[in-house]
Chains A and B, each alone.
Chain A
Amino acid sequence: MATQGWLSGRTGETSLAKLRRLFVADVFPRLVFLLAFLVVWHVIAIFFSNDLLPTPIAVLDESIVILGSGSFAFHMLNTLRRVMVAFAGAWVVSIILGVWMGLSERAEKFFDMGVVIGITIPGLAWAIIMVMLFGLRPLTAYLAVFVVVFPMITLNFWEGVKDIDMQLVEMGEVFDFGPARTIRHVVLPQLIPYMLSAGRLALGLAWKLVVVVEFLGFGNGIGYQLTTEYNLFNMAGVLAWTALFTVIMLLIEYGGFKLLERRYLAWRPSVEIRRRVE
């Protein structure tokens, strides 16, 4: 029942008409943006960059070479592993700490300065500190990402717990929900939007930081490839790796988070249906 809504469309609409409406409403504006971006890039590359900036087509060619060489999967998977391990760790710890800070004033007062300091320290500084402390080991990448990501999402959960509607909890008490039902049906659904936005934020941050850590001297991963291309002064290579990496990120964003959002936040009405009156 919870998945109802987002694809169900209007009653009596054929699936073809539905697809067309989705295309016009959702896909088309994004395609226009992408196209405009590529055109602007192309114009700058040809007329204003003294041949320093390769055209999108040159970058596409380079990307095809990279994809064909077989090294893409190897480096991508290494980067992906670093991101995912650190991200998952940070997410779990942040939920626990964020919820604790939201519920206990003492915990809030104890940890809030730490969280603020954590957010303030630049990611690059953490990356350098971790590499200097632990050397070029897998642990270094995990730790660097963890310490950068985790204060950011803790802050998110902390706010989420503070925003829980206590009137609904009271309603649950009157209707004898009991603790398990209250947590599952009253508290958690209110935290889901925060979990999703925290996850999105964390993943974006984690990606960026892993590449920096790899840039500092790892022997594989996207960041390592960027260093290699930089040392060869191959701009097309730098852009191709960046573009491929961005495509994977977009796939995660649209294939993962957007779908989760539609699955769990289907109850939020669009402006269109909210206008309905009695």
Chain B
Amino acid sequence: MNCKEISRIASQAMDRPLTLRERVSVWLHLGICDPCRNFVSQLRLLRAVLKQQSHHAENDEKVVLSHSAREAIRETLHQH
């Protein structure tokens, strides 16, 4: 398999278990291909950073509903 095919399977590996055949193909390819190894590391890094920073962002108390949005929601809730 070439880099294009490997990159597609490496992306799917983030979302589903690979077949044995696919795992062997990716493993063999990564053994000889630095760019694809970097690609896989980057995908894992993106996921790790997104998970961590999203968790921070959910708890960042500086980010709040705007006054107008809050009042609009309050108004809507009162009507129900």
Same assembly = no
